Amino acid sequence: MEAYYSELSEDYDVKIRQLVPGYDQMVGCVVDAVGSNGPSAVLDIGMGTGTLAQRVVETLGRTALTGVETSVDMLAVAEGRLASEPRIRVVRANILE
């Protein structure tokens, strides 16, 4: 499984948009739904490359976010994307264990 995600992480952001029509709109809907509840913290399970996490903290000014991902390579991409955002904490874990 790790090898699969390692290979996938290299161009995941392109692939997800090709395979899931309306992906960016879907992310926007999730952010809107989360924002309507005014949370102070969000847990993003299976954060992948951090696209949703980035949109959440950009859109919801005071919200802190913890992102959980099992893949080292996906996390590397997410950490690179989110490095300048102190409200995001990234955790490597498998939620099934």
What is the predicted pLDDT for the residue at 4?
76
* DSSP calls for 2-36: HHHHHHHHTSHHHHHHHHSTTHHHHHHHHHHHHHT
Q: Quick: pLDDT tens for 24-81.
A: 999 999 888 888 877 889 999 999 999 999 999 888 888 899 999 999 999 999 999 9
| Whether pLDDT at 91 is above 80 | yes
Q: What range defines the domain where residue 82 resides?
A: 2-92
> What's the domain count of the chain?
1
d(CA 2, CA 8): 10
| Cβ atoms 44, 56 nearer than 8 A | yes
Query: Would you say residue 7 lies in a domain?
Result: yes
Instruction: Specify the pLDDT at position 71.
Output: 93
Write the CATH number for 39: 3.40.50.150
The pLDDT of residue 80 is 93
